[in-house]
Amino acid sequence: MLPALALGTEPPEPETMNAPPRSPKEPLFTRSVLGRILFLGGIQALGVTTAFFWKIHTAGIPYAAFTADNPIYREALTMTQAGIVVSQVFNGLTVRSDRLSIRRLGVLSNPRLLAAQALAITAMCAISYAPPLQQIFNTAPLSPLDWAILTGFGAVLLAADETRKALVRAHAKRRKENT
């Protein structure tokens, strides 16, 4: 919730005031907005699902053995939860603009967003490593390899959207040159 609120403090993109206003008849959820939600959401879902099954598969025990009391099952669930948090950190960095790259925006341009994301990661670590919170949330500690894998999935999400933005910019440039 805090990262979403912090996104509201994102500085406006350059040239925003030079663009014509959006038509009041235009829906909030346009095809491009819905497409981007499905695109980024699909990558996130694939990443956390892969992380869950990777954790179970690497344990080398049958799926029938995974119950709420099994520590590997709790690790897989924790990895899934942490994967959602980590992917949302990368998602928060990329959704600040529909077309401008993160390099152009700057990673540090919204300190409120960075603080909110750090708080989200801190909360996830507390849930993962603090025994009283492990009992409440039925979680288990994650290894450095687990975090590296989750960070890798987040980086894939960021790279995919940066590629999408580059294609959007190239298309707009070609369209502008043809007019």
Say if 145 falls within a structural domain. yes
Question: How many domains does one find in the chain?
Answer: 1
- DSSP line for the chain: -HHHHHHTTPPPPTTGGGSPPPPTTS-SS-HHHHHHHHHHHHHHHHHHHHHHHHHHHHHTS-GGG--TT-HHHHHHHHHHHHHHHHHHHHHHHHTT-SSS-HHHH-TTS-HHHHHHHHHHHHHHHHHHH-HHHHHHHT--PPPHHHHHHHHHHHHHHHHHHHHHHHHHHHHHHHHHHT-
Say if 24 falls within a structural domain. no
Task: Give me the pLDDT at residue 79, please.
Answer: 96
Say if 36 falls within a structural domain. no
Say if 3 falls within a structural domain. no
Task: Give me the pLDDT at residue 64, please.
Answer: 80
Task: Give me the pLDDT at residue 161, please.
Answer: 96
Per residue in 118-164, pLDDT (tens digit) is: 999 999 999 999 999 999 999 999 999 999 999 999 999 999 999 99
Say if 57 falls within a structural domain. no
Q: For residue 158, which of 100, 109, 90, 98 has the smallest C-alpha distance?
A: 90
Q: CA 69, 71, 77 angle in degrees (round to 5)? A: 95
147: tokens are: 């975090």
Say if 61 falls within a structural domain. no
pTM here? 0.88
Say if 17 falls within a structural domain. no
Q: Catalogue the long-range contacts made by 115-118 (C-beta closer than 8 Å, 24 or more residues apart).
A: 115/6, 116/2, 116/3, 116/5, 116/6, 116/92, 117/3, 117/6, 117/88, 117/89, 117/92
The domain in which residue 81 lies consists of 71-179
Say if 111 falls within a structural domain. yes
Rounded Cα distance, 93 and 104, in Å: 12
Q: What is the pLDDT along the chain (179 residues), one digit of tens a residue?
A: 777 788 777 777 777 777 788 888 888 888 988 999 999 999 999 999 999 999 988 988 787 887 878 888 899 999 999 999 999 999 999 999 888 999 998 888 899 999 999 999 999 999 999 999 999 999 999 999 999 999 999 999 999 999 999 999 999 889 888 87
